[in-house]
Chain A
């Protein structure tokens, strides 16, 4: 039980680090490229996908109950 809990916390922290890294890339791209529209939109999609998958557990919609 405690191991699973620790693993879950770690996953959350990993997700946060990924999001932070993507945000840093986003900022860098935004201030350097002259027309960053497409790149920024793709990065935003990626960030949204990470949140939807890891934080919002969208798979619970079609998978049976399991709390992780």
Chain B
């Protein structure tokens, strides 16, 4: 923009082109991810500082299910991005909805089943479907709710972003050439996935039962 675009008619000459702005946006978003790495990294470190090589008793089946759901949701997000890049609007919209739906299922799975905010009980197929860990259960409650809570907050914001993108996509706002909004949301959604890749073993698999 400085040297490259020589012409300028007052305001418009100073605004970067879509491609150039996208390049800046992409770098900025990745820097934001790197920044957030320290947020989640600090929580991760707190888990090992406070739990050491132990862990609370959690339902293994539930953990595996929500983890799988998030992975599949990431695949649908990828599909949506490929679809809009090839101007396949139908697949684009349906994939977005699928990704958002699975994100909501993950969120509900964590909040209603694992957190058990309504204090329910159900034992079916040999599995305890509602978690028993409470926020005030010492450091186990503290760290578990902090890590899942911070992650769930990102899932929720991701779902909201996907629905915004879907709404704009429905109105025909994206094109194969110009769809930074889709790419950014997809990146964010995959990033949330990456965080869970580290949180899942840290919470469910590592350590002896306390």
Binding site for B on A (CB under 8 A): 1-2, 4-5, 8-9, 12-13, 15-16, 19-20, 23, 26-27, 29-31, 35-37, 40-41, 43-44, 47-48, 51-52, 54-56, 58, 60-61, 65, 67-68
Q: Which residues of A contact B193 (CB under 8 A)?
A: 51, 55
Q: Is there an interface contact between A20 and B68, defined as CB atoms closer than 8 Å?
A: yes
B186 proximity list for chain A (CB < 8 A): 55-56
Tell me the complex Cα distance, A48–B86, Å.
26
Point out the residues of chain B lying under 8 angstroms from A60, CB to CB: 26
Q: Give the size category of B's interface with A.
A: 35 or more
| Cβ-closest chain A residue relative to B86 | A5
Given A48-B198, A56-B191, A67-B176, A23–B82 Cβ distance below 8 Å?
Answer: no
CB-based contact B71/A16 at 8 Å: yes
Q: How far is the CB of B109 from chain A (nearest CB, A)?
A: 16
Known: A8-B82, A23-B68, A37-B53. A51 touches B206 (CB 8 A): no
Dominant secondary structure at the B interface = helix
Taking CB atoms, residues of chain A closer than 8 Å to B86 are 1-2, 4-5, 8, 67
- The residue of chain A having its C-beta at the shortest distance from the C-beta of B207 within the complex is A37
With contact pairs A9-B79, A16-B72, A67-B176 given, residues A44 and B30 touching in the complex (Cβ less than 8 Å): no
Main secondary structure of the interface of A (DSSP, over half): helix
Other-chain contact of B206, A8, A30, A47, A56 (Cβ < 8 Å): A30
Question: How far, in angstroms, from A19 to B68 measured CA to CA in the complex?
Answer: 9
Nearest 6 Cβ contacts at the A-B interface: A30-B205, A67-B85, A40-B201, A16-B75, A5-B86, A12-B78
Inter-chain contact A44/B198, CB cutoff 8 Å: yes
Q: A27-B60, A43-B201, A55-B77 are in contact. List 7 more A-B contacts (CB 8 A).
A: A9-B79, A16-B74, A23-B67, A26-B201, A41-B201, A44-B200, A58-B30
Please name all residues of chain B whose beta carbon is closer than 8 Å to the beta carbon of A47 when the two chains form the complex.
197
A-B contact pairs, 9 of them (CB 8 A): A4-B86, A5-B83, A16-B71, A16-B74, A19-B71, A23-B64, A36-B206, A40-B206, A51-B74
Interface residues of B in 62-102 (CB under 8 A from A): 64, 67-68, 71-72, 74-75, 77-79, 82-83, 85-86, 88
**What residues on A are CB-neighbors of B50 within 8 Å?**
none
